[in-house]
Structure 1
Amino acid sequence: MTNKRPPLNFDAIANAAVGNWVTHVFPAAGISFNQPAHQHQACPMCGGNDRFRCDDKRGEGTWICSQCGAGNGFMLVQQYTGLDVYDTNKLIAGAVGLDATSTVTDEQRIQWQSQQVEREAAEKAEKRQARLDAASRAQSVWDNAKPAADDHPYLLRKNVSAIGLRQDSSDNLIIPMYYYNPDKQQTTLVNVQTIAPDSEKLFLKGGLVSGAYFTIGSAAMFSGGVILICEGYATAATVFDAMSYSLPVIVAFNAHNLIPVAKAIRAQYPDHRIIICADDDSATALKMRDKDIAEGKEPKPLVEYNAGIRDGKLAAIAVNGELVVPSFDVVDMDKDAA
């Protein structure tokens, strides 16, 4: 007598599950959402409020949680149920009405591939339309805003001036975000960042962020042959002031955006000296490493937790530029100057 389990066709199960995770597989595994799947809500694994969402990209049940990480539908089902790979596949097969041991026909493969192409095309079209809509809203927000005042609470806290900024009727600072299209050699407004009096920062939903930037300084300043790139506006404005308003400073808005922004600037100025002015997120890095240690995880090198330094170095390498880490100890502002 043997306890050997009959073989399962994992390939057939994976393909059959595509597009069915939210409607069939997750409910069958006992995973339920109290909001539409793509909206922020409680995580079914850790239970944290408003930290989980299932974007279901390519119909693969993809999800992200600020506590648990990210993964696809299979990973969510397996982690939630605690089943092994075999039993997880068996559960999924039953949820989509598939005979788990069946073979995959050529016709099925063609059908699945066709459906996948259609889903990806639909997602791409939806994303493009969202970006177009956001760009239109950004232009409206910008056009209807007034010049920003230097006594805005955020600017006062950061000890910087409003250079090229505007302010809306709710007293949010408005920072325009421009994107350079190398094919058309055009720069267009694609989004805005708003900064509320309490320092909350937001981008327009659906708007392009990657590669979008804001320039502090005039076009004439680029003739100097040196361009500085910073993360946030406050850092950039401080650096601009420190350089006696003589060099252009680019705002990339966050550490992750330093690389695409640096590449966009390099495409426009191939012979310029590009200097990345990185934020030193050492305090945050230490907290993140200590948290991993407290949770029994193997800690990574400290620089891996320091997004400002890490991504700053990568950006400098990507464009054959240079890296500096400005010190703002003499200025009354937060360590994270962005």
Structure 2
Amino acid sequence: MDTEFLNAMAAAGLAPVKPLALPEGRIVRFRVQGDKAGSRNGWAVLHQHPIPAGVFGSWKTGEQHTWKATTNETATPAERAELQRKLHAAQQARAAEEARVRAEAAARALKLWSGAKPATDDHPYLRAKGVHAYGLRALRDQLMVPARDADGRLHTLQFIGPDGSKRFLTGGRIAGCYYAIGRPDDALLLAEGYATAATLHQATGRAVAVCFNCGNLIAVARSLRAKFPRLRFVVCADNDAGTPGNPGLKAAHEAARAIGAGVAFPSFEGVAHV
């Protein structure tokens, strides 16, 4: 049944890069095909008895899937109860492992951040984008952008190379975390990347939250709306006009609807507001 389970993982877009051993009832971490080298965002737990079943997912995307083998045999009430118990135990093991991984990443992020020097505007990426290093720090040639939750706790770091390449500290929490540029007064802007957020801050003087990617916009929006219930929010979208479905604009509108915010996005003619 390992093969059927692995096929289900592949069908969900979570196939492991290397062959995966699945010990009975033990959580296994692995690198998902398409993820960066060295990462282990995928996880899986498989039980063979009484009915082959398991749970798998990705800490990177937050998704979770349950699988059960197809069989012509009818399970007894005791077998069904045992299956539910094991699936529940698998989910608890996943949650405990995720908490451990997140805690280790947060501790590493704090150590790296505390030992780093302030970044300067001379960094090649900042010069290319024409923006300042608002509170950033540097590790060798890498800029570091801290990702914090609404309570200010550091969870992970984004590293930006001189060529603009970006990566996150492995295992760190991203969902709902952001980097704040400026202090909000009567309005707060939300943007995906650091360069866009810094440009907005320089142009408007407004506080901006860096959400890191479009998939994180809605989580950050809800978190900040809870923190600042009376503020006016504007979601400043990346207009991915050349990408099917325009994920940047779609995510911005979803986030705006979730918190009652406006949306601003660039167009070929200038800046459009809706």
TM-score normalised to the size of structure 2? 0.77
Alignment of 1:127-166 (within 5 A): 127-166=98-137
- Matched with 2:231 is 272
Secondary structure of the equivalent of 1:35?
A: coil
1:101 Cα deviation from its structure 2 partner: 3.6
Matches within 5 A, 1:36-75: 36-37=19-20, 38-41=30-33, 55-56=43-44, 60=54, 62=56
- Measured in 1, the distance between the counterparts of 2:42 and 2:180 equals 35
Contact 2:54 2:87 in 1 (8 A): no
Deviations 1:7-42 (A, max 9, x none): xxxxxxxxxxxxx536x8659xxxx97625422449
Equivalent in 141, 145, 170 of residue 205 of structure 1: 170
1: CA distance, partners of 2:268 / 2:130: 11
Q: Contact 1:54–1:61 (CA<8 Å) still a contact in 2?
A: no
Matched with 1:183 is: none
Identity %: 35
Distance change in 2, residues 1:235/1:33 (3 Å):
closer
Q: Per-residue CA shift, 1:152-207, capped at 9, x if unaligned?
A: 111122121111100002x1000011112xxxxx3211111111112111111111
In 2, the alpha carbon distance for the partners of 1:196 and 1:121 equals 37
Output one character per residue of 1:116-164: Cα deviation in whole Å (capped at 9) or x when no partner. Answer: 1110000000001111111101101101111112121111221211111
Corresponding residue for 1:233? 194
Q: CA deviation at 1:247?
A: 1.6
What 5-or-longer segments of structure 1 have no aligned partner?
1-19, 43-49, 65-69, 75-91, 94-99, 181-185, 289-304, 331-338
Whether 2:2 is the aligned partner of 1:21: answer yes
- Counterpart of 1:124, as a letter, is A
How many pairs does the alignment contain?
238
Cα distance in 2 for partners of 1:72, 1:118 equals 13
1:250-276: per-residue Cα shift (whole Å, max 9, x none)? 100001111111111111110110011
Q: Does 1:325 align with 2:271?
A: no
Q: Is structure 2 residue 121 aligned with structure 1 residue 121? A: no
Q: Give distance in 1, aligned partners of 2:267 and 2:197.
A: 13
With over 3 angstroms needed to count, the CA separation of the structure-2 counterparts of 1:152 and 1:329, relative to structure 1, is farther
Q: 1:189 to 1:111 in 2, by over 3 A?
A: same
Question: What are the superposed Cα offsets for residues 283-338 of structure 1, whole Å, 9 maximum, x if unpaired?
Answer: 2x2xx4xxxxxxxxxxxxxxxx11111011111111111001146999xxxxxxxx
Normalising by the residue count of structure 1, what TM-score does the alignment of the two structures yield? 0.63
- Tell me the secondary structure at the aligned position of residue 149 of structure 2: strand
Q: Deviations over 1:31-75 (max 9, x none)?
A: x97625422449xxxxxxx9xx964367646579xxxxx98768x
Aligned AA (2:167): L
Distance 1:213 1:26, change over 3 A: closer
CA distance in 1, matches of 2:95, 2:57: 18
Matches of 1:328 and 1:189, distance apart in 2? 37
Where does the alignment leave 5 or more consecutive residues of structure 2 unmatched? 8-14, 21-29, 47-52, 59-63
Larger Rg: 1
1:196 corresponds to 2:161: yes
1:110 aligned counterpart, secondary structure: helix
- Secondary structure of the 1:56 match is strand
